[in-house]
Structure 1
Amino acid sequence: MDGATEDEGEDSGDCGNKGLPPPADQVPEGEHNDSIPPQTEWSILSISEHVAREALVQYTANKCCYRIAPAKHMVVQNLTPLNTFRYRLQTFTETRETFPISEPYNGGFVDSSDVAPAPAPWAIVVDAPPLFTDCEMHIPVPHTYSVQDCPNCQGRGKNQCHLCIGSGKRRCTACNGTGWQDTSNQSCLFCSGSGKRRCSDCHGGGWQKCIRCSGKGLLLYHSELTITWKNSVAEYVVDKNFGFPIYHLQEVTGKEIFSDENQVVYPIVNFPEPTIDRGSESCIAQHQMQFASNSHILRQKQTIELIPLTKVVYEWRGKVYSFYVFGNENKVYTEDYPAKCCCSVM
């Protein structure tokens, strides 16, 4: 029913059922995968001086206020690898809600509960989208249809004109309702001296067709099932307090060293970086608390990435500066670049 519009809860007596909990037999039971990769996969070599220089040159080239000379001619003193880990949990959920919908009734068959019992929201079978893909679907629920008087017009199919209050006439704007012209003692030509003119909104009838029911006086109600598939992500990044703002790591990718996917997953255990164990436990508990009561968890996936992060210390004109190169993309972060010019954008 493409022309259907969402109905107000107070009109239909049904405000909808939001976040309908799935049946108990659909609550997932997880499997445990504790296969932590061997340590040989965790090592990422420090970037070379050439890569660091090229990264800074590219960075300064995209900054209108940065001169490129220090990036090209700096003397690199030290490159320190500060690689860190990022844990990411993806939870793919399905949520079902019902809402009352109405449209003008034009006659014909009504698929009411007298025909057959209405199915429960979670009993309606649909094809889910690809895993970890956001999607939304709207489905009319069979056997929930009923015909009722339109609450906006009480079944009349028309409403009193709100501009003329049903009189069919409004004050004449030419004479401001006096019935006389300002420049003479003659009566107003537009209203023939009455001070009123026919209402243009209702064409003098005093009533207007009800928009909600299209003048039919009756509405066809039904329940609409809204199914929402959503991929929610929780992340934990190990912050080793190296002076690098870790929120910048959201901009880059790393090397995936661990992946575990099941209907539900369990926290990581015995990872060489202990905070990853605690981070995974926190993320999983957060999603369980957020989704378990009103959504169906279809699938979960957890990964661990090793993110390249290198601190570069260099000398320029007798002074020492530093910058960071991070991620597979070799992005740059620096606070003390030595050759900035002051300019303002008007």
Structure 2
Amino acid sequence: MGNDKWDVMTGGVGGVYGNGDFLSTLNNDSLFGTKSKAKTNGKLDPLAFGTLDGEDEEKKSEEEKEEIESDVDDWPTAPPVDYLERVQGYEMVSFDTVSVPPPVPLPPSDDEEGEGEKKEKKEEPVNKVVLTPESIPSLTQVQAREALLTHVSNKCCYGSGTAKQMGITNMDYVPAFHYELQTFIEKRETSWTYAPHKGGDVDSPARGPAPLPWDIEENPSQMFKDEVRVVTVPHTGVVKACHKCRGTGGMVCRDCSGKGWVRCLHCHGDVYLSDGGSLGRERCYYCQHSKHGHGQQDCSKCQAKGKVSCATCEGSCHIRCYIQLSITWRVVTAEHIVEKLNMPEDLIRDVSGQVAFEEDGERVAPVDAFNDEIIKMASSQLVTNHAANYLDNRILRQRHQVRIVPVTKVMYEWKGRGKDFYVYGYENKVHLPRSSYPQSCCWGCAIM
């Protein structure tokens, strides 16, 4: 929107806000596109004095409303760039959120390296726990049959005859391994923001230098728990005139386009409700006491004032701009499952198992104490990926573990045919391969 139009709308020229009455300017004839003296060839124009018929008046009212809404929508939603104060260390911050990478740690000096080596020799690895893998679980044929009976009883249209009559021929124990790495990271973002200012002290840059984003002491309430916290950067506050209402505290009411009245919804501006037959037309009693005249009702949104309180400054005419620090703590999880029986990985993930390896520390090294080469390779790759993929975050802590999930393949015969199923987890859950259960449908059933 050009400067000339702003000057007309704000009631002044030569300043950003002007000295005129903003409401009266918005209500004047130049904004609504009407002439103060409605004449046509020296005669009064009846259309300018409310003698329009209903459709023309409604059309004109809608046009005025659309014009007001168009003008208001063109007003800035965020303060202008010149509202931003120059704060040392935050020169590149704007009203858009900017991620701030953590500072690169300085290399330790020779004296610090010597002291660090002495400490490492004295200290043991942080919370490192290695457990002996569990021995092969003794799943009996009775337990396998009971597990299958429980499984088919929860399936619609599955018969239990096979589970009762089958002959178990062999049971093979082939455990699955579930490796999981969790990295607890912290991310910090800054941006200018604003809020209504209704008086009171302001923590401005005059009170001292603002601390840098990573110098502000904020700790998570709990480790390995997602959390978001928003804090105000000290010594960055500044008070400005509201950019939305141009410091007036009010906005043109959209419902009535600043007129203070709307057409009566009951008589539609016709003054009379309906044709009363022999008794004559009944006068509308909804709008008969309106100070704007019959056929019109006071606007309920603005209380017939023509303007409403500015939502940005809440009518205070001023806003307080300050730098906001947003801190996000979250857990990033990666996993790898080693499963040799072609079972869905989701099944292994969701059941209990024996924790064979566990480690917790500021940084963890790839697993080397577990006797499985695939797990070792997966751990090395995932730990490396976490260190490389979150450079704009600070890694606070890591933990990883390896679980051994018991899986037993049960082979059986039923009516001369060989079939199999799997019992997995300490809950003895059952997995039936697709179309592997002979009685998986009962003929003639109808599911409503």
Change (3 A) 1:49 1:18: farther
Residue aligned with 1:162, SS: coil
Q: Could you tell which deviates more after superposition, 45-54 or 277-286? A: 45-54
State the shift of 1:128 in Å.
Answer: 2.8
Residue 22 of structure 1 pairs with residue 105 of structure 2: no
Q: Which residue of 1 aligns with 2:418?
A: 320
Q: Which residue of 2 aligns with 1:264?
A: 363
Q: Which residue of 2 aligns with 1:296?
A: 394
Residue 11 of structure 1 pairs with residue 82 of structure 2: no
Q: Which residue of 1 aligns with 2:158?
A: 66
Change (3 A) 1:320 1:142: same
CA distance in 1, matches of 2:371, 2:329: 35
Change (3 A) 1:186 1:252: closer
Q: Which has the larger radius of gyration?
A: 2
CA distance in 1, matches of 2:331, 2:95: 27
Q: Which residue of 2 aligns with 1:232?
A: 332
- Structure 1 residues 141-186: Cα deviation after superposition (integer angstroms, max 9, x where no partner): 2212221222221211111111111111222333433456652578
For the aligned residue pairs, the C-alpha RMSD in angstroms reads 3.2
Q: Which residue of 1 aligns with 2:315?
A: 215
Residue aligned with 2:185, SS: strand
Equivalent position amino acid for 2:400 in 1: Q
Which 5+ residue runs of structure 1 have no aligned equivalent? 1-7
Q: Is the 8 A contact 1:18 1:97 kept in 2?
A: yes
Taking structure 2 as the reference length, what is the TM-score of the superposition?
Answer: 0.66
Q: Is the 8 A contact 2:148 2:430 kept in 1?
A: yes
Equivalent of 1:334, from 419, 428, 432? 432
Residue aligned with 1:19, SS: strand
Aligned residues: 333
Where in structure 2 are the equivalents of 1:1-346 lying within 5 Å? Answer: 10-11=78-79, 14-25=94-105, 41=133, 43-45=135-137, 47-179=139-271, 182-183=274-275, 195-240=295-340, 242-269=341-368, 272-291=371-390, 293-335=391-433, 336-342=436-442, 343=445, 345-346=447-448
- Structure 1 residues 169-222: Cα deviation after superposition (integer angstroms, max 9, x where no partner): 222333433456652578766556754333222222111112332211112233
Q: Is the 8 A contact 1:57 1:68 kept in 2?
A: yes
Equivalent position amino acid for 1:203 in 2: Q
State the shift of 1:44 in Å.
Answer: 2.5
Equivalent position amino acid for 1:15 in 2: F
Equivalent position amino acid for 2:405 in 1: I
Higher strand share: 1
- Bigger relative contact order, structure 1 or 2, given CA contacts below 8 A and separation 6+? 1
- Structure 1 residues 228-277: Cα deviation after superposition (integer angstroms, max 9, x where no partner): 2212211001133x232223211112211112222112223485432212
Higher helix share: 2
CA distance in 1, matches of 2:130, 2:217: 39
Taking structure 1 as the reference length, what is the TM-score of the superposition?
Answer: 0.84
Which 5+ residue runs of structure 2 have no aligned equivalent? 1-75, 82-93, 108-119
Change (3 A) 1:170 1:130: closer
Change (3 A) 1:101 1:296: same
